[in-house]
Amino acid sequence: MTKEKTKVTLIGAALAKPGLDFVYEGIVCTECEGCKVRKVCHNLQSGKKYRVVAARPNTRHDCPVHHEAAVAVDVVEAPIVALIGADMAIANSKIRYEFSCPRSECRSYRLCRPDGIIEGEKYVVGEVLGNAPDVCERSRPLKLVELRPA
């Protein structure tokens, strides 16, 4: 098993708990413009899902955005639960994720377009979790899988 590559970033002290998953939005506030640690706060890829694996509580920085201060944390890219075509749902296979359905009213929409997925990027199917929880409105055979960064 390969060890996941960690990255150090800063998040609000209230959020700096191992196991927390978040999607980095990539929005730089005007309050950040003069900050000396701004580059560390904004060193993640916008739109990707990350998981806090360790907090470094001794690295607190005053922050006008995070009221309790910003704290250094180690993060890894988090696995994402998604629906993919049944023909691609093979454990340990690499896929390129494409958003193929625009039906935002569909009950499966959030699983077909999960937060943290970057369209066109490659992912590894980590585990096939089972069939889709709801029927696809386009009658496509779908499987629920856990995707990891390739």
- State pLDDT tens for residues 72-110: 999 999 999 999 999 999 999 999 999 878 888 988 999
Phi, psi angle pair for 133, to nearest 5°:
-70, -25
Distance CA 87, CA 136 (A): 15
Quote the CA–CA distance of 22 and 11 in Å, as a whole number: 10
Are 119 and 143 contacting, i.e. CB atoms less than 8 angstroms apart?
A: no
Domain ranges (residues) in the chain: 7-77, 80-149
Mean pLDDT of the chain: 92
- Looking at the predicted structure, is the pLDDT value of residue 2 above 70? no
CA–CA distance, 93 with 110 (Å, rounded to integer): 23
Q: What is the reported pLDDT for 81?
A: 97
Kind of pairing between the strands at 21-23 and 49-61: antiparallel
Mean pLDDT along residues 23-31: 90
Phi and psi torsions of 110, nearest 5°: -65, -25
Q: How far is CA 1 from CA 4, 62, 134, in A?
A: 9, 38, 33
> What is the pTM (predicted TM-score) of this model?
0.87
Beta-carbon-side half-sphere exposure of residue 26 (alpha carbons within 13 Å): 7
**Is residue 1's pLDDT more than 50?**
no
